[in-house]
Structure 1
């Protein structure tokens, strides 16, 4: 197991949760990926807790007018220590990119994501 393995597992579980249509499966994936008190710095501001992240996914990500859409990790997970970053793309069902960005996550000592900072869009 590499140093990055817990980071990759947590990030991939989080992305899988964003794509899960079944609320029970989404909740289970978020439970695997996030600490209960995760701090989520998203495009709509700061929120705290797994339920807040789940609500964001349900309302904003899955509730997008172009739905059904999906989140795709576009880069490797770069994890120098307890922080990690990864690129992502939010795409329509036909694969057309709607938005892309880079997220930074902090991994707790127990292995779950306890902070997510979303950077949506290009810095060009």
Structure 2
């Protein structure tokens, strides 16, 4: 049950990247995130849904065109933390970015997001 709740919040969060219109971005984020969400993204730490909304809008306005964000793994959830893999692809086979997010949930909503963009290279040992 807990993993289903997490998966629902995660999928709603990711759907904001794919919204048909920018007007729906904040609505989708408000359904998935707490108002005081802490977001650790590629440019550092920010707080609140408005900060996450700006990040989503920046991704949606990618110079190569509006892309598609998908969850490409199951949701792995030990206790209140969850992780999943994602991929963002721009139209016509343009740039692709993949990574892993780690999220913390509180009362069925995401209150922390840590974005790890890119793949981790195997160690040389």
Task: Please give the TM-score of this superposition, normalised by the length of structure 2.
Answer: 0.91
Aligned length: 121
Shift of 1:88: 0.3
SS state at 1:25 partner: helix
How far apart, CA to CA, are the structure 2 residues paired with 1:71 and 1:64? 12
1:80 aligns with 2:63: no
Q: Verify the 8 A CA contact 2:64 2:94 in the aligned structure 1.
A: no
Question: After superposition, what is the alpha-carbon deviation per residue over 1:47-83, rounded to whole angstroms, capped at 9, x for unaligned?
Answer: 1000100011112x11211112111110011111100
- Listed one character per residue, the Cα deviations across residues 87-113 of structure 1 (whole Å, up to 9, x for unaligned) are 0001012355611000000001x2110
> 1:22 corresponds to which residue?
21
Alignment partners' CA distance in 2, 1:95 and 1:81: 37
Alignment of 1:118 with 2:115, yes or no, is: yes
- Asked if 1:100 corresponds to 2:98, the answer is yes
Structure 1 gaps of 5+ residues are: none
Contact kept, 8 Å, 1:89 with 1:97, in 2: the verdict is no
**Aligned counterpart, 1:42:** 41
Following superposition, the deviation at residue 18 of structure 1 comes to 1.2
Moved beyond 4 Å, runs of 4+ = none
d(CA) in 2 for partners of 1:99, 1:91: 7
Length-normalised TM-score, structure 1? 0.92
